[in-house]
Amino acid sequence: MAKVVVVTSGKGGVGKTTSTAALGAALAQSGQIVAVVDFDIGLRNLDLVMGAERRVVYDLINVAQGDAQLHQALIPDQQLENLFLLPGSQTRDKDALTEDGVRRVIHEMHEQFDWVICDSPAGIERGAALAMRFADIAIVVANAEVSSVRDSDRIIGLLDAKTERAEKDERLEKHLLLTRYDARRVAYREMLSVDEVVEILAIPLLGIVPESEEVLHASNLGSPVTLHDPASAPARAYAEAAQRLCGVNIALNIPTDKKSLLGRLFGRRAA
């Protein structure tokens, strides 16, 4: 029976789609059978990050409306045989996706996968509500910036009120994933610290993904960073986050900026 995970945020551009792909790939690398689902109707990008944009025939709406079977729409990953993508629609309106349709799709996927990871559109509109509706676990993706943290706090409120589990008074497991973390900016007070973000949002910290050009480079090449460059800092952060999601106890280290610190010290001496 699958665990259904929604990757969500209140603010766009924080890294939900890259996080969905990276976590999905990391779980698949550990032997889990994983499906990633793009709920961003009209603006789909998960297929690009997964390198599958030219292989999309049917999509989530086709399956939800009964125009295609699930197995027809699922796209197997070209690198991992146990990783699959259910793409979003690029041509349909968000209103084409209904709660009953999503329920049927998720119910069918429950029987076939260990993990179903839903990439939510940003904000609080219909697509985001449907992406989180049937979730067992929520990963709230945020940057350590005031606007992102404020919007994430609103999303946590919706998770506690609008999901099926919340309405049944059942526990919805929630985690915080901090992305694009820049220790230099934190040192200069241009970003909030990890402790400040955790104190505000008050949910467990799943991982801290450092700012890195490697994430963008991997996305542009159509490969999750955990597959493209497993030794890179963001790939390691995602891999460890995936293990924590599975219940493995791994120490969480806050990325530092040793080079910048040395640079500042030498800069002071030179002055």
Tens of pLDDT, residues 211-266 = 999 998 998 899 999 999 999 999 999 999 999 999 999 999 888 865 544 444 44
State mean pLDDT over 125-129. Answer: 87
4 with 112: CB under 8 angstroms? no
pTM of the model: 0.92
Averaged pLDDT for residues 164-176 = 96
Determine how many CB atoms are found less than 10 A away from the CB of residue 3.
18
State the average pLDDT for the chain.
91
Q: Tell me: the pLDDT tens digits for 56-91?
A: 999 999 999 999 999 999 999 999 999 999 999 877
pLDDT on residue 259: 52
Does 95 score more than 80 pLDDT? no
**Which amino acid does the sequence have at 169?**
D
Strand order in the sheet with 173-181: 75-76, 83-86, 34-38, 115-119, 3-8, 137-142, 173-181, 205-210
pLDDT at res. 262: 44
> What is the predicted pLDDT for the residue at 261?
45
% the chain with pLDDT above 90: 82
pLDDT mean over 108-136: 93
Mean pLDDT of the region 159-167: 95
**Residue 1: pLDDT band with limits 50, 70, 90:** confident
Record the tokens describing residue 32, joined without a space.
């889990």
Whether the pLDDT of residue 165 is over 80: the answer is: yes
User: The CATH number of the domain where 181 resides is what?
Assistant: 3.40.50.300
- Residue 225 CA to residue 230 CA, distance in Å, equals 7
pLDDT given at position 258: 54
Least confident of 42-51, 175-184, 186-195: 42-51
Q: Are 76 and 24 in contact (CB under 8 A)?
A: no
The total number of structural domains in the chain stands at 1
> pLDDT class for 96, splitting at 50, 70, 90?
confident
110: domain range?
Answer: 3-270
Asked if the model's pLDDT at residue 267 lies above 50, the reply is no
pLDDT at 178 over 60: yes
The predicted model gives 114-141 an average pLDDT of 93
Whether 27 has a pLDDT exceeding 70, the answer reads: yes
Helices (H), 54-135: 60-64, 70-73, 99-110, 126-133
What per-residue confidence (pLDDT) applies to 256? 80
Local structure of residue 205 (DSSP, 8 states):
E
138 to 8, 65, 84, 193: CA distances (angstroms): 7, 25, 20, 22
